[in-house]
Amino acid sequence: MPRGYSGAGSAGAFRPPGDVSSGATREDPPVLHHQLWTANADLAKSCLQHTFVRGLADGSLPPEAFKRYVAQDVFFLDAFFRAYALAAARVTGDPERARTLHRLMGGTLEELRLHEEYAASLGIDIRRVRPYPCVQAYTDFLLRTAWHEGPGETVAAMTPCMRLYAWLGKALRAEAKPGNPYARWIEAYSSDAFESLARDLEGLVDRLCEDGPAVRDAYRYALQCEVEFFTAPL
């Protein structure tokens, strides 16, 4: 069990806006990625209602808080890319899944490019960035999972970030107002391209993961880390 894991919470009747379709019929149980997302809807809702995210939504987030967030996210995305690379190296004899992971690596590089542009415009020297403890714990968890567990557990640990950001992007786009200084951030994460990457990763969850405590614990712990990530820059 990952350090800091507090057990699965009930999603209740909450159905997040923009919830990904499972493709299941009423007679079929939801596919695994859908089960994981809905089982952790309490944490997704906490992120949507978080002070940091509300500040992005209405443009009121202090620039210094966004600057600190960008600096930490550059550090995080570098580790995220390496976790993808480790997972890809361990998916042997399966060219299709390897191609999917390499496509996801390309998406992460595009995110890094966007954040490096943000960093340059905000005067951040990314070489001097030191991670906050919660960010270090998150990246340590991802890389430890990628090194020591199978590809299934790795994609279970990585999927929450992708699905959460795609979902938040769409939710924030629906309430966006002209002149929001964070419009570019919202546009990036609400894009069809980012949604496609999130679905690609969820597809790997369904194909590579064996449902059980290890997968469910990893998924929930990653979402808990996302809540802490939004808190840290404030």
What span, in angstroms and rounded, lies between the C-alpha atoms of 157 and 32? Answer: 14
Structure tokens given for 81? 């890319």
CA distance 28 to 55: 40
The residue annotated as part of the active site, out of 47, 161, 209, 225, is: 161
120, with CB counted inside 10 A (0-12, 13-18, 19+), is exposed
226 tagged catalytic: yes
Q: 10 Å Cβ neighbour count for 212?
A: 10
- The phi-psi region of residue 3 (left if phi > 0; otherwise alpha if psi is between -120 and 50; otherwise beta) is beta
| Distant-in-sequence, close-in-space partners of 229: CB < 8 Å, separation ≥ 6 | 72, 76, 134, 135, 138
Which one of the listed residues 111, 153, 202, 226 is annotated catalytic? 226
d(CA 9, CA 20): 19
161 catalytically annotated: yes
Known catalytic residues are 161, 226
